[in-house]
Amino acid sequence: MEYALAIQKARDYLAAHEDRILQGLQEFLRIASISTLPAHAQDMERAATYLASRLRELGFPVVKVIPTAGHPLVFADSGPPADNPTALTVMIYGHYDVQPVDPLDQWETPPFEPVIRDDRIYARGASDDKGPVWMHLAALEALRAAVGRLPLRFKLLIEGEEEISSPHLYTYLLEARGELDCDVVVISDTAMYAPGIPSICSGLRGIFAGQIDIIGPAHDLHSGVYGGVVANPIHVLAELLASFHDADGRVNIPGFYDSVRPLSPSEREAWARLPFSETAFCEEIGVPALTGEKGFSPLERMWGRPTLEVNGIWGGFQGEGTKTIIPATAHAKITCRLVPDQDPAKIARLIEEAIASRLPRTVRYRFTVMEGGHPWTTSPEHPYMKAAAAALQECFGAAPVFIRMGGSIPIVSALARQLGKPIVLLGFSLPNERIHAPNEHFHLANMRCGMQALVAYWLRLAAGPVSAE
């Protein structure tokens, strides 16, 4: 069937069935699937079962609620289209669990009693991530109605532990490697840059976290008796931490930037065109001015450049009044945000080498690696990204932007590393939709355009050919 006719049919279908689609979403939102609270274990089961029954209604021949040591995973596979056994396979990942709702008294309407007002749907999970998951189901339904079948093979992996760092998904990824085979992974769990600007997220920073302990005398010492001959661990730590950056705001750890992939000129140009007011940004976060690495814009420094931050520092006497001691120890927690192709384990090694070489002989130290996560990126030039951009442009009537996020979504880099396939982060939420906070909501206008864009994306991929990188 001709593309224009198919997309029009899908649009008409979505419009004609909008009430039912929204009713289904409201039912989904009524389930209090708070993954972190043991009291809601039954709700987790209910949410998984609800999704599974919806997927069976959609005609998926394989639908499984997979038990884990925590909350169940929902997996569905449409199988290849009957007339095209070699069609592309798209994997859609999302999550049905939500954050806790306190402070409850700040909600204008109860978090698990969804209401629609001002063309927005209010409920916990509306924007993160039940609304976007529901969009995918509705888009598949419309696609099937428009062309009579699913023209691609679709696999869905919807987990119930995203908000608690997916502790059991990783085991499943290892065990079910074959079942998860696909050509591209599409995830709708990120935000658009701003209202009216459809966005695709093309990169996330990784993380390294560690703790530095400076160990001085065997116990706190009297600063009058011993002051002048014993190294003070707090002084030593302060000097060490101060040595971690140079005057140009660069991280002063030898080798730190060795694996940093330079930002492409086209990406830098695109970010430079995004609306960004440094003054408004400063006002919003309450600082008089910004800082950072010289030669890069604020968006580049937040999205595409690595950092090292001291997150906490403690030691010595913290009580009221004075206490005349040379403290026995001093401590700091640090994290680095990493960009492609930095490796958290290598960064940990480089930092430890810098610490060892910079500390005086007068103290000992301990360096503990707490956490590591790889950075991730899919090139905006990748055919799967370009097809997504074209679909967004068509349905939102505005040119989409490729943005990145400064934070980390560990599951994205895990999926990328396990499956070795491109990931397209096609987000339809808005930054101010109060996710994780009271009065979470989702804009229905973006939901409508987004569902159409998903259908358009699948139709474009079905029309192929999309060559892999």
Print the binding letters for residues 134-173 with Zn ion: x by CB under 5 A, - otherwise.
----------------------------------------
Q: Which is nearer to Zn ion, 188 or 342 (CB)?
A: 188
CA distance 58 to 46: 18
Which of the stretches 182-190, 329-337, 348-356, 390-398 binds Zn ion when contact is defined by CB under 5 A? 182-190
Residue 277 is encoded by which pair of tokens? 């007011």
With CB under 5 A as the rule, give the number of residues binding Zn ion: 3
Q: Which is nearer to Zn ion, 243 or 432 (CB)?
A: 432
CB of 32 to Zn ion, least distance (A): 16
- The region that residue 100 occupies, defined by phi over 0 for left and psi between -120 and 50 for alpha, beta otherwise, is beta
The three-class DSSP label of residue 218 is coil
Which of the stretches 65-73, 187-195, 273-281, 448-456 binds Zn ion when contact is defined by CB under 5 A? 187-195
Q: Which is nearer to Zn ion, 200 or 253 (CB)?
A: 200
CA distance 368 to 398: 48
Q: Which is nearer to Zn ion, 77 or 163 (CB)?
A: 163
Which of the stretches 51-59, 184-192, 209-217, 218-226 binds Zn ion when contact is defined by CB under 5 A? 184-192
* Distance from the Cα of residue 462 to its chain's centroid: 27
Q: Which is nearer to Zn ion, 70 or 327 (CB)?
A: 70
CB of 99 to Zn ion, least distance (A): 9
Instruction: Give bridge partners of residue 334 from the DSSP assignment.
Output: 210, 310
CB of 257 to Zn ion, least distance (A): 31
| Residue whose tokens read 């806790």 | 100
Which of the stretches 39-47, 186-194, 315-323, 456-464 binds Zn ion when contact is defined by CB under 5 A? 186-194
Among residues 161, 189, 267, 440, the one that binds Zn ion under rule CB under 5 A = 189
Return the closest-CA partner of residue 156 out of 240, 271, 268, 73: 73
The CB density around residue 108, as the number of other CB atoms within 10 Å, is 10
Q: What is the DSSP secondary-structure string of 135-202?
A: HHHHHHHHHHHHHSS-SSEEEEEEES-GGGT-TTHHHHHHHTTGGG--SEEEE--SB-SBTTB-EEEE
In sequence order, the 6+-apart residues with CB closer than 8 A to the CB of 195 are 430, 443
Which of the stretches 128-136, 370-378, 419-427, 450-458 binds Zn ion when contact is defined by CB under 5 A? 128-136
CB of 120 to Zn ion, least distance (A): 18
CB of 355 to Zn ion, least distance (A): 36
Among residues 129, 159, 161, 267, the one that binds Zn ion under rule CB under 5 A = 129
CB of 142 to Zn ion, least distance (A): 23
Q: Which is nearer to Zn ion, 125 or 340 (CB)?
A: 125
Taking the alpha carbons at both ends of the chain, their separation in whole angstroms is 28
Strand residues in 343-391 grouped as ranges (E): 364-373, 376-377
Return the closest-CA partner of residue 47 out of 133, 110, 122, 108: 133
The three-class DSSP label of residue 207 is strand
Q: Which is nearer to Zn ion, 387 or 454 (CB)?
A: 454
Print the binding letters for residues 21-60 with Zn ion: x by CB under 5 A, - otherwise.
----------------------------------------
Q: Is the peptide bond before 341 cis (omega within 30 degrees of 0)?
A: yes
Print the binding letters for residues 72-111 with Zn ion: x by CB under 5 A, - otherwise.
----------------------------------------
Among residues 43, 128, 267, 300, the one that binds Zn ion under rule CB under 5 A = 128
Return the closest-CA partner of residue 23 out of 102, 89, 152, 114: 114
CA distance 274 to 289: 20
CB of 343 to Zn ion, least distance (A): 26
CB of 126 to Zn ion, least distance (A): 12
| Residue whose tokens read 């884990």 | 68
Question: Which residues sit at the interface with Zn ion, rule CB under 5 A?
Answer: 128-129, 189
